[in-house]
Structure 1
Amino acid sequence: MTLEETTGLRIPDSRLAREAAELVRDTEGDLLFHHSVRVYCWGALAGKRTALKFDPELLYVASMFHDIGLTAAHRQSRLRFEVDGANAARDFLRAHGISERDVETVWNAVALHTTPGIPQFMRAEIALLQTGAGMDVAGRGYDQFSDAEREAVVAAFPREPDFQHGIIDAFYEGMKHRPDTTFGTFNDDVLAFKDPAFRRVDMCTVILGSSWTRCAHPGHRHAGPDKE
């Protein structure tokens, strides 16, 4: 049975969706491309299960672009890879005359997909992109999908036998030249796993070593007891 027959899920087939897929397909390898389509599937299935109202086309475009910042085209960038992907999606959508409100939604979805605790309180497409990415990479919410759903999605868009190491490698290759951009997200876990020389930035160390700490009580003048 097909994906649609098993799950009721249809991959968007508008001109916008097809051109987004073609662009990303020509940019990414099989691992990231298939991952991106599965991210859409998990997100859309989660949206359907929870009765969230979302735009399938916008979620699909966001899914297509969410990891494009990891590719060779962005090897010189010093931005977070999520921002590179968000900017690429924004440029693509603007070139197709999409409204700025929808452009902003997709930008936020891509930019925030590795940021925990925020997307679920934003527009449905933003929340569902993170849901889909978390399911495909880390198995978050795995048991909320039926066996039939999981089997149908993976049959349609194969998951490589060693996907876990493959996606870690893809993250590493896309971020190793800009390690500072991993601060504040779990992306620094990837660099720590792959590079023994990598040292995480610790927020407490930053605070205690800041200029405020080095300059004892800057701008403060002790007035002493009041005098009449």
Structure 2
Amino acid sequence: MIGSREWINLSNGKLSFKEKSQIIKQVLLPATLNYSKTFFKIEPQSITIQFDQFKIPDTSIVKEAIAELESTNNQAIVTHSWRSYFWGIAIAQIKNWQFDEESLLIASLMHDLGLVDHLEQYACQCFTSESALRTESLCAKHHYQKDKTENISNAICLHMNGYLDENDQNLSKEVLLLQKATSCDVIGTDFSTFPLNFRDQVLEHYPRLQFNAEMRKLISIEAKRNPLSRTALMSKLGLPSMIQMNIFKE
């Protein structure tokens, strides 16, 4: 699949002309439709979701992932990463999906590390690869299970696709949740389905801190650095404008 860890290993993160056409066909229409729905008035789910009911896994690998994220000194990305985790577990609760909380948390905390650290040129033409490599190194240090490490790495690589088919049996729930959660925080998809009190609690604990402007800046840097990447393609297709006009007015 385009955007997967396997694809990045083979392509070095560069989209061919054929792959650009494929991803436009597979992603652009559903992603645009999901984005347009964010401006419709939708009744929140009647399900009760309490922010305080979710406990952060207190493990050594999670603690180090938190330290890695905080070392970026980019508070807009730090809070974005935490919000992504909470949007993800809320989506899972609404859909009644079973998933591994620790794996989703690690993926959420680490997914944008390669995007923030733009001071050097990485060998791969995609920031998600750098994020995945750092995560794999962290997992190896903590002797994490191979299958879980591969799943987390794949989730990080695929989150930039903009849309994933949740009926695809080859995609794990963690992969789907990270993509949906990051899309929620970046352009607002699924946000209106959350109970109002849960939205407010997450935003109170992890404020956006002018995240729209920061993400647009980072995307611009990445697109210029890696012009054949998915980020560059999404930028050309209007992602910065979607961020600027999203429901999170900043």
* TM-score (normalizing by structure 1): 0.75
Change (3 A) 1:66 1:192: closer
Instruction: Give the alignment partner of residue 141 of structure 1, picking from 190, 199, 202.
Output: 190
2:181 pairs with one of 132, 137, 162: 132
Partner deviation per Cα, 1:121-155 (whole Å, 9 max, x = no partner): 31111110011101100000111111111100011
Instruction: Give the Cα separation in 1 of the matches to 2:70 and 2:152.
Output: 19
* Residues 1-228 of structure 1 mapped to structure 2, 5 A cutoff: 6=51, 8-72=53-117, 75-77=120-122, 78-118=124-164, 120=166, 121=168, 122-160=171-209, 162-182=210-230, 185-189=233-237
The offset of 1:163, in angstroms, is 2.2
Judge conservation of contact 2:224–2:232 (CA < 8 Å) in 1.
no
Aligned residue for 1:114, secondary structure, equals helix
**Does structure 2 conserve the Cα–Cα contact (< 8 Å) formed by 1:135 and 1:142?**
yes
Give the structure with higher Rg (CA). Answer: 1
Contact 2:51 2:201 in 1 (8 A): yes
Q: Deviations over 1:59-97 (max 9, x none)?
A: 000001111111226631242111111111111111110
Mark the CA change 1:183 to 1:46 in structure 2 (over 3 Å): closer, same or farther: closer
Preserved contact between residue 85 and residue 181 of structure 2 (Cα < 8 Å): yes
Counterpart-to-counterpart distance in 2, 1:99 and 1:21: 19
Deviation track 1:154-204 (CA, whole Å, cap 9, x = no partner) reads 1111111x32122111222334211122378524447987xxxxxxxxxxx
What is the Cα deviation at residue 118 of structure 1?
Answer: 3.3
User: In the superposition, relative to structure 1, how do residues 39 and 84 fare at CA in structure 2: closer, same or farther (>3 Å)?
Assistant: same
Task: Report the Cα distance in structure 1 between the residues aligned to 2:223 and 2:69, rounded to whole angstroms.
Answer: 19
1:25 partner amino acid:
E
Which residue matches 1:200? Answer: none
What amino acid maps onto 2:109 in structure 1?
M
Scaled by the length of structure 2, the TM-score of the pair is 0.69
Contact 1:179 1:188 in 2 (8 A): no
1:163 and 1:117 map into 2 onto residues whose CA distance is: 21
Counterparts in 2 of 1:163 and 1:173: CA distance versus 1, 3 Å:
same
How far the C-alpha of 1:10 sits from its partner, in A, is: 2.1
Deviation at 1:15, TM superposition (A): 1.6
Distance 1:184 1:71, change over 3 A: closer
Point out which structure has higher relative CO (alpha carbons under 8 A, 6+ apart).
2
Structure 2 unaligned regions, length at least 5: 1-48, 242-250
Provide the C-alpha distance between the structure 2 equivalents of 1:134 and 1:180, rounded to a whole number of angstroms: 21
Amino acid paired to 1:182: R
The verdict on how the C-alpha distance between 1:106 and 1:187 changes in structure 2, with shifts beyond 3 A counting, is: farther
Structure 1: stretches of 5+ with no match in the other structure: 194-228
